[in-house]
Amino acid sequence: MPSLLLLAGDGIGPEVMAATERVIHFFNKRGAGFELQSGLVGGTAVDNEGAPISEATLAKAMAADAILFGAVGGPQYDGLSYDMRPEAGLLRLRKHFDLFANIRPAICYPALADSSSLKREVVEGLDIIILRELTGGVYFGEPKTIEELGNGQKRAIDTQVYDTYEIDRIGRAAFDLARTRRNHVTSMEKRNVMKTGVLWREVMEETHKDGYEDVTLDHMLADAGAMQLVRNPKQFDVIVCDNLFGDMLSDIAAQLTGSLGMLPSASLGAVDSTTGRRRALYEPVHGSAPDIAGKGIANPIAMIASFGMALQYSFGMVAEAKALDAAIAETLAEGLRTADIAAPGDEAVGTTEMTDAILGNLEMS
């Protein structure tokens, strides 16, 4: 039986996860047979279990086929120490399961093109993916310290480290992904100031030559790339970059679509050569939105669409994933809007109504 671990987390996490459970149950009624477990993560886990993720929860994650992750963080946790901050739970999961390939689609639904701060013609029909390296770079490199220098001064250090194999495997993931799309990869780095950028470009070139020459590979400096993303995002297909650039670039790409509350993501590990399985975590790109938590108004679409990515990438249920995406698009086309995507004058619906409507459209598919 396929199994999922649900880690709802903080803020609006539990609300959007509850909405997604209803969608999972829909597929179970149709025989999918998902087994669900749940656990705590983030600030809620610190409050209840003394750490942003407990060993018991990690063990549950190990036993599950895939993890659905909500969101973590909130102002009440701002005072926690670095090791106890809610984000540490998420970072630990990424590293522990070696989820190096973070797929972040930026799709602009026609029904929502006007809610972007960009001109309609610049973003309408946008469909690009930021493929972010997720387990290396400055997020995890050592030393990562703050030392006292005496004289009242402190020195903080972060280290960005990349090995050939780390760049090679994310490069292959990018080329494989591009082959299912428009066959075009743009690699972004700062080779003019960073040695990791120099190696990044070198390995991308080598990997490209190793059986991927049918895919077009371009290079851009990350600063110029950020500009191009704002100027003319439709020029891209798959953008591949390191962990920190990916953090920035995927958030920018998400913002272009005007609907952060709609965007899912998948974080994948390597395919296990004996079991054929692949570790995976699915999470919305949005955060925990503490300001609207508990009000029943959060947009559940990004979380539901993250489950859709799980259907596709972890369970090979491609038809079901397509049906779910279509039900979401249909619901938007019908005019349903949660507050975050409502235009002035639109009537906004709550989390439950939005989920009802998606389930209704699923029923009919």
Contact 205, 175 (CB under 8 A): no
Indicate the Cα dihedral angle 83, 86, 87, 88, nearest 10°.
Answer: 30
Contact 248, 189 (CB under 8 A): no
Give the pairing type, strands 238-241 and 264-271. Answer: unpaired
258 marked as part of a ligand binding site: no
* Residues labelled as active-site residues: 139, 190, 223, 247, 251
Q: How far is CA 211 from the centre of its chain?
A: 28
Contact pattern for ligand IPM over residues 260 through 299, marking x by CB under 6 A: ----------------------------------------
287 marked as part of a ligand binding site: yes
| Shortest distance, position 122 Cβ to a copy of itself, whole Å | 5
Q: In the complex with ligand IPM, which residue's Cβ is closer, 122 or 194?
A: 194
Q: In the complex with ligand IPM, which residue's Cβ is closer, 192 or 275?
A: 192
Q: In the complex with ligand IPM, which residue's Cβ is closer, 242 or 247?
A: 247
Q: Is 227 in the site for ligand IPM (CB under 6 A)?
A: no
Question: Which residue from 223, 272, 291, 353 is in contact with ligand IPM, where contact means CB under 6 A?
Answer: 223
Structure tokens at 194: 């960073």
Q: Compute the half-sphere exposure of residue 197: CA atoms within 13 Å on the CB side of its CA.
A: 14
Left if phi > 0, otherwise alpha if psi is -120 to 50, otherwise beta: which for 146? beta
297 marked as part of a ligand binding site: yes
Question: Which residue from 61, 67, 90, 240 is in contact with ligand IPM, where contact means CB under 6 A?
Answer: 90
Q: Is 192 in the site for ligand IPM (CB under 6 A)?
A: yes
214 marked as part of a ligand binding site: no
Residue 145 interacts, among a copy of itself, ligand IPM, none and using kind-specific CB cut-offs from 5 to 8 Å, with: a copy of itself
| Shortest distance, position 247 Cβ to ligand IPM, whole Å | 5
Q: In the complex with a copy of itself, which residue's Cβ is closer, 111 or 263?
A: 263
**CA 269, 166, 69, 298 torsion-angle sign:** negative
Structure tokens at 22: 């209803």
Count of positions on this chain that bind ligand IPM (CB under 6 A): 7
125 marked as part of a ligand binding site: no
**CA 240, 243, 249, 251 torsion-angle sign:** positive
Q: In the complex with ligand IPM, which residue's Cβ is closer, 130 or 215?
A: 130
Q: What is the 3-state secondary structure (H, E, C) of 253-294?
A: HHHHCCCHHHCEEEEEEEECCCCCCEEEEEEECCCCCHHHCC
Please give the Cα distance from 280 to 93 (Å, whole number): 10
Residue 252 interacts, among ligand IPM, a copy of itself, none and using kind-specific CB cut-offs from 5 to 8 Å, with: a copy of itself
| Shortest distance, position 223 Cβ to a copy of itself, whole Å | 4
Residue 200 interacts, among ligand IPM, a copy of itself, none and using kind-specific CB cut-offs from 5 to 8 Å, with: a copy of itself
299 marked as part of a ligand binding site: yes
Q: What are phi and psi of 282, to 5 degrees?
A: -120, 130
What are the start-end ranges of the E strands in 190-232?
A: 216-221
| Shortest distance, position 43 Cβ to ligand IPM, whole Å | 12
Spatial neighbors of 145 by CB under 8 A, at least 6 apart, are 156, 157
Q: What is the strand order of the sheet 216-221 is part of?
A: 35-39, 3-9, 66-71, 278-284, 264-271, 101-107, 127-133, 238-241, 184-189, 216-221
Residue ranges that bind a copy of itself, judged by CB under 8 A: 73, 82, 85, 87, 91, 117-119, 122, 138-139, 141, 144-146, 149, 152-165, 190, 192-196, 198-200, 222-224, 226-227, 230-232, 244-245, 247-248, 251-252, 254-256, 260, 287
Please report, in range form, the residues annotated as the binding site for NAD(+). Answer: 74-87, 287-299
Can you give the binding site for ligand IPM, defined by CB under 6 A?
87, 90-91, 192-193, 223, 247
Please report, in range form, the residues annotated as the binding site. Answer: 74-87, 94, 104, 132, 223, 247, 251, 287-299
Please report, in range form, the residues annotated as the binding site for substrate. Answer: 94, 104, 132, 223
